[in-house]
Amino acid sequence: MLQFLLRSIGLGLATALLLLLAIPSLRTNILSDDFAGGNNITSAQEISFNSAVRKAAPAVVNIYSRKYAEGNRSKLQTQSLGSGVIVSHKGYIITNYHVVAQADQVVVALQDGRVAFAQLVGTDKRTDIAILRIEGNNLPVIPLNPEYSPTVGDVVLAIGNPYNLGQTTTFGIISATGRSSISAGGRHSFIQTDAAINDGNSGGALVNTRGELVGINTASFQQATELETYGISFAIPYALANKIMQKIIADGRVIRGYIGIDGQDITSVTSRLLGNEHMGGIVVLGVDPNGPGEDAGFEPQDIILKIDGNKINGRQSVMDIVTELRPGTVVDVLILRKGEEQTIKVTIAEDTREI
pLDDT at 227: 52
Instruction: Note if 202 is an active site residue.
Output: yes
Contact 102, 64 (CB under 8 A): no
Contact 305, 335 (CB under 8 A): yes
Identify the bridge partners of residue 16 per DSSP, sorted by sequence position: none
Q: How many residues does the chain have?
A: 355
pLDDT at 132: 97
**Three-state DSSP class for residue 9:** helix
Choice among 80, 83, 124, 128 that is catalytic: 128
Give the Cα separation of 144 and 75 in Å (integer).
39
Per-residue pLDDT of the chain (355 residues; tens, 9 = 90+): 555 555 655 656 666 555 555 555 544 444 444 444 444 444 455 788 999 999 999 999 999 988 887 777 667 777 768 999 999 999 999 999 999 988 889 999 999 999 999 999 999 998 899 999 999 999 999 999 989 999 999 999 999 988 888 899 999 999 988 776 544 444 567 899 988 888 888 899 999 999 999 999 987 655 444 555 566 889 999 999 999 999 999 999 999 999 998 888 876 655 556 665 667 788 899 999 999 999 999 999 898 989 988 888 888 888 888 988 999 999 999 998 888 889 999 999 998 876 5
Q: Which amino acid, 277?
A: E
Choice among 98, 188, 302, 351 that is catalytic: 98
φ/ψ of 23, rounded to 5, equals -125, 95
Give the Cα separation of 158 and 262 in Å (integer).
36
The alpha carbon dihedral of 96, 97, 99, 103 has a sign of: positive
pLDDT at 282: 86
Phi-psi region for residue 108, left (φ > 0), alpha (ψ -120 to 50) or beta? beta
Angle at 319 between CA 317 and CA 325, to 5 degrees: 105
pLDDT at 31: 45
* DSSP E strand stretches across 279-329: 282-287, 303-307, 310-311
Instruction: Note if 332 is an active site residue.
Output: no
Give the Cα separation of 210 and 94 in Å (integer).
20
pLDDT at 224: 45
DSSP structure string for 180-209? -TTSGGG-S-EEEE-S---TT-TT-EEE-T
Angle at 115 between CA 111 and CA 120, to 5 degrees: 110
Angle at 347 between CA 343 and CA 352, to 5 degrees: 135
Choice among 65, 80, 202, 220 that is catalytic: 202
Contact 338, 322 (CB under 8 A): no
pLDDT at 238: 95
Q: Which residues make Cβ contacts (< 8 Å) with residue 139, sequence separation at least 6?
A: 59, 86, 89, 91, 110
Torsion of CA 97, 101, 106, 107, to 10 degrees: -60
Domains and CATH numbers, the chain: 53-133 (2.40.10.10), 155-251 (2.40.10.10), 257-350 (2.30.42.10)
Give the Cα separation of 108 and 134 in Å (integer).
8
DSSP H/E element including 226: none
pLDDT at 273: 60
Angle at 334 between CA 329 and CA 336, to 5 degrees: 145
**pTM, whole model, 2 decimals?**
0.77
